[in-house]
Structure 1
Amino acid sequence: MERIYIGMGSNLADPAEQLRNAVEAIAQLPNSVFVGVSAFYQSDSLLPGQPRYTNAVATIETHMAPLELLDALQAIENDQGRERLERWGPRTLDLDILLFGNQLIDEPRLKVPHYHMHARPFVLYPLAELAPASLKLADGRSLEQLLKDCPFVGLERLPGLAESNQLAR
């Protein structure tokens, strides 16, 4: 089984509830075991004029192939009302494969490690709650160094949500 880290984000239709529903759906993926979810974090949108985002990271272990998992995650997004009207528009749910074991993936539909995760505190800090401190990405970068290069700026950790979102293992 591969250890997978999944970035989750929402800024529409009760974002915290969208993430809770996504966690429940991820926990039901076939050939997979749910491991955990980080606390939820809020941050401003990268684009002006959009509502604030709520983000988290979930981790699973799975036998699914990368593109098979991507299809399953996009089905969860669709089930929760995701509309792909514009690339950077507001969304009910965005699920991104951040890391897929220690694999480098460069497919037209999937790039792993996720191509902008190194510059996004709303990804790195939730990831650090779940990943070992010694985690190295397949491209050689360490999570420890990425955190040093990406300060905890503009994030608000939402207290108590991590505990309420843990599912029985």
Structure 2
Amino acid sequence: MNTVYVALGANLASPKAQLDQACQALKALASDGQLSVSPYYQSAPMGDVPQPDYLNAVARFTTTIAPLALLDALQAIENEQGRVREVRWGARTLDLDLLLYGDWQLDIPRLQVPHYGMKTRSFVLLPLLDLAPDLILPCGTKLTSLITEELKRQVQQLGPDH
């Protein structure tokens, strides 16, 4: 059994509804059917592709699903919710990224865990902090050491009603 953290993002086709629906789908991947989800955050898109702002969150659950099988399951959820991969960092109905898989460190062609960009992305770090303020990454870095005032200014936490 491993505790996993998954980043969620959406900026098309009712982003809040997309995240809500994805959370329901993620529950089915949890060994005990339990899922913890951070508050939703609004953030500007990455890259230079003109598009709407994103809604982002992080979910935590435990699973016995192997990392690559979990990646396949996450991509299936994205596809079921209309994800189309045409432009790198382009607009999307749903993006699910496997951030952490227990204390595992993987670097294989289809999957890098911990996620390669998680240490610098405010829309990942702040929701992750909401779920696991005492988290220490597999490399030994304390999550709190990555949080800066600049990161906090880059996203806006939405209220409990999202």
TM range (shorter): over 0.9
- Map of 1:167 onto structure 2: none
| Distance verdict in 2 for CA 1:88–1:138, change over 3 Å | same
Counterparts of 2:7 and 2:111, CA distance in 1: 14
List aligned pairs for 1:66-105, cutoff 5 A: 66-105=67-106
The code of the aligned residue for 1:95 comes to L
Counterparts of 1:50 and 1:44, CA distance in 2: 9
**TM-score between both structures, scaled by the size of structure 2:** 0.93
The code of the aligned residue for 1:69 comes to L
| Distance verdict in 2 for CA 1:161–1:110, change over 3 Å | farther
- Map of 2:136 onto structure 1: 136
Counterparts of 1:34 and 1:47, CA distance in 2: 34
Deviation at 1:148, TM superposition (A): 3.5
Q: Is this contact kept in 2: 1:12–1:90, CA < 8 A?
A: yes
Residue-by-residue CA offset, 1:64-84 (whole Å, 9 max, x unaligned): 100010000000000000001
- Map of 1:26 onto structure 2: 26
Q: CA RMSD in A?
A: 1.5
- Map of 2:151 onto structure 1: 151
Corresponding pairs, count: 161
- Map of 1:39 onto structure 2: 39
- Map of 1:117 onto structure 2: 118
Identity of paired residues, percent? 48
- Map of 1:3 onto structure 2: 3
Residue-by-residue CA offset, 1:18-44 (whole Å, 9 max, x unaligned): 000000000112645323100000011
Q: Is this contact kept in 2: 1:102–1:138, CA < 8 A?
A: yes
